[in-house]
A and B are shown apart, each in its own frame.
Chain A
Amino acid sequence: GAVVSQHPSWVICKSGTSVKIECRSLDFQATTMFWYRQFPKQSLMLMATSNEGSKATYEQGVEKDKFLINHASLTLSTLTVTSAHPEDSSFYICSHRKPNTGELFFGEGSRLTVL
């Protein structure tokens, strides 16, 4: 069964509103989780690394004030897209990494459409 649960699967919002996506680790306590974004017909791009109890680490070019990440517990990380615009429409996927293997396991993904 799924080891990473992500919610919601689909979200449609108006431009200027904020959207929160939740990601839960179901099989172990994950001190680190990863947020990816995928535009149509493109590969996964790492946005940020979510660290439990501390600030997230953002990849170059990703606005930390726009994509707020909170990792308040060992099983839950959230991504909030603030003041969303149509160009933020994408497929957002979270994952965790299995210890000692480097293997990533992904949530179901959240497809965001900003009107």
Chain B
Amino acid sequence: ENVLTQSPVTLSLSPGERATLSCRASQSVSSYLAWYQQKPGQAPRLLIYDASNRATGIPARFSGSGSGTDFTLTISSLEPEDFAVYFCQQRSNWPRITFGQGTRLEIK
């Protein structure tokens, strides 16, 4: 199984700051990686797919980068609504689709 390890587990920042979240795969996933945002009591929301493509309606402050085993989600300037849990997900080793354990982005 391709294990996705996200870091940090918790990230404490203030609105307006830049957030950098990491996702590392135990085996290469090429560019087949997505990022999701989840708020308490809600379903996840697709932000980024194929490592760097923003999903429909996602603000430009969200960007993704990376390939192979190392990926980054960057939020250029945090808005109050961005504080949530973020998951990465790989689809490279299909049919074994796996998710990372999540990074909690909290207000400092």
Bound pair (A, B): no
